[in-house]
């Protein structure tokens, strides 16, 4: 019998348009891994409502995100691509796992602390228990690997802890997942303020995958650097330039030394224009293909319907095991 391929699960919230950060930190790796692994790539709309969304926008962005996944090169034949809320087992497992997660553990999550500060007037229980739902996403499919950016590492580690604890109480039930974090691009910083992560909630410092070329060029032109002139990687003293070098390398596949040599003796103006150009060329085919796919709603509907069916079959197997182990009477 052929050994089972290792499995991958990852997802992105449709809480805003997809950014260069999510592309470089996550999606690029998803594409690279799709041949070697059995992959599930999800649009985590249930996570998105942990902060308030405009319903029509959420619906639109969910579909756009699917089109963008495909446009990035993810093949719906090879991968299971689906919308989280279409597979009710995520919410069901999340409830059970929440009963094996400590209040203290969730209180220590840095993303919760950040978001609670940003949305101080709306700190919901959902925002607090968000990492439990994320653990359910991963554990339902017995994923071995979770390709994410640096900021999600803590959540994947918590997921491992929850899984280990459950396995310890009830015997082996869940595969313990490993985070898979890229060497280059794991943490893309804001172009306007390189001390902060590039994020959809800061549109000025953020490049969106669907931005027009002129918009991308303008954002890079305005990127914050420093008052030195050397294009050199030094995250501590030259965070703006270092971030641009990272983006350049992630977009072109060059290594840091080659990029530094290329821009030796050239000014920041030239350098920023070249980084912008590299990103424009990387995003151009993706944006055009996503646009084309968005014109074919029937196709997209077929992809997410089939994805949900295939995902449910896998998810139900795990959920049934879990319900039995904790002592629920079989339905
Ligand atoms: P989200 O939607 O905030 O981000 C999606 C993915 O993009 C990565 N990312 C970045 N990488 C590098 N630089 C950046 N500036 C940057 N911004 C975002 C994130 O690390 C992430 O990989 N909780 C998750 C979604 C999720 C999930 C899951 C992920 C829900 N369930 C199960 C993996 C497995 C989140 O909010 O990601």
Residue 25 CB–ligand 1 contact under 6 Å: yes
* d(CA 228, ligand 1 centre) in Å: 33
Residue 198 CB–ligand 1 contact under 6 Å: yes
Identify the pLDDT of residue 4.
Answer: 79
Per-residue pLDDT for 234 more than 90? yes
The pLDDT-based confidence of 119 (bands split at 50, 70, 90) is confident
Closest protein CA for atom 5 of ligand 1: 12
Q: Rounded mean pLDDT of 201-217?
A: 93
Choice among 113, 118, 183, 200 that is catalytic? 200
Q: Which numbered atom of ligand 1 lies nearest the CA of 190? A: 15
The pLDDT-based confidence of 195 (bands split at 50, 70, 90) is very high
Determine whether 197 is an active site residue. Answer: yes
Residue 44 CB–ligand 1 contact under 6 Å: yes
Extract long-range pairs of 220-229: CB within 8 Å, 24+ residues apart: 220/191, 220/244, 220/272, 220/273, 220/275, 220/276, 220/279, 221/272, 221/273, 221/276, 222/191, 222/192, 223/191, 223/192, 223/272, 223/275, 224/191, 224/192, 224/193, 224/194, 225/268, 225/272, 229/267, 229/268
Average pLDDT, the chain: 96
* d(CA 151, ligand 1 centre) in Å: 7
The pLDDT-based confidence of 197 (bands split at 50, 70, 90) is very high
Determine whether 325 is an active site residue. Answer: no
Cα angle for residues 15, 19, 24 (degrees, 5° grid):
125
Residue 28 CB–ligand 1 contact under 6 Å: no
Per-residue pLDDT for 1 more than 60? no
Determine whether 200 is an active site residue. Answer: yes
Identify the pLDDT of residue 203.
Answer: 80
Per residue in 82-104, pLDDT tens? 999 999 999 999 999 999 999 99
Identify the pLDDT of residue 2.
Answer: 58
Per residue in 168-190, pLDDT tens? 999 999 999 999 999 999 999 99
């Amino acid at each position: 019998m052929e050994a089972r391929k290792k499995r991958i699960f990852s997802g992105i919230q449709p809480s805003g348009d997809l950014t260069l950060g999510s592309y470089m930190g996550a999606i690029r790796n998803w594409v690279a891994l799709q041949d070697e692994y059995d992959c599930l790539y999800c649009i985590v709309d249930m996570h998105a409502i942990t902060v308030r969304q405009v319903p029509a926008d959420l619906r639109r962005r969910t579909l756009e995100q699917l089109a963008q996944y495909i446009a990035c090169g993810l093949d719906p034949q090879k991968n299971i691509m689906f919308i989280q809320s279409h597979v009710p087992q995520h919410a069901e497992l999340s409830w059970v796992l929440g009963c094996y997660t400590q209040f203290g553990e969730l209180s220590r999550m840095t993303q919760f602390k950040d978001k609670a500060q940003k949305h101080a007037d709306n700190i919901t229980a959902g925002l607090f228990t968000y990492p439990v739902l994320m653990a359910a996403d991963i554990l339902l499919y017995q994923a071995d690997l979770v390709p994410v950016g640096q900021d999600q590492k803590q959540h994947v580690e918590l997921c491992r802890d929850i899984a280990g604890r459950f396995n310890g109480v009830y015997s082996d039930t869940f595969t313990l997942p490993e985070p898979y974090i890229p060497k280059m691009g794991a943490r893309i910083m804001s172009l306007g303020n390189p001390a902060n992560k590039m994020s959809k909630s800061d549109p000025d410092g953020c490049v969106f995958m669907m931005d027009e070329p002129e918009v991308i060029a303008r954002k890079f032109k305005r990127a914050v650097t420093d008052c030195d002139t050397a294009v050199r990687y030094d995250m501590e003293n030259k965070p703006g330039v270092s971030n641009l070098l990272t983006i350049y390398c992630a977009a072109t596949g060059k290594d840091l030394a080659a990029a530094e040599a290329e821009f030796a003796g050239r000014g920041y103006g030239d350098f920023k224009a070249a980084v912008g150009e590299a990103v424009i060329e990387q995003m151009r085919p993706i944006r055009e293909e996503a646009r084309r796919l968005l014109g074919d709603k029937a196709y997209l509907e077929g992809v997410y319907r089939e994805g949900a069916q295939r995902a449910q079959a896998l998810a139900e197997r795990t959920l049934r095991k879990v319900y039995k182990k904790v002592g629920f009477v079989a339905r």
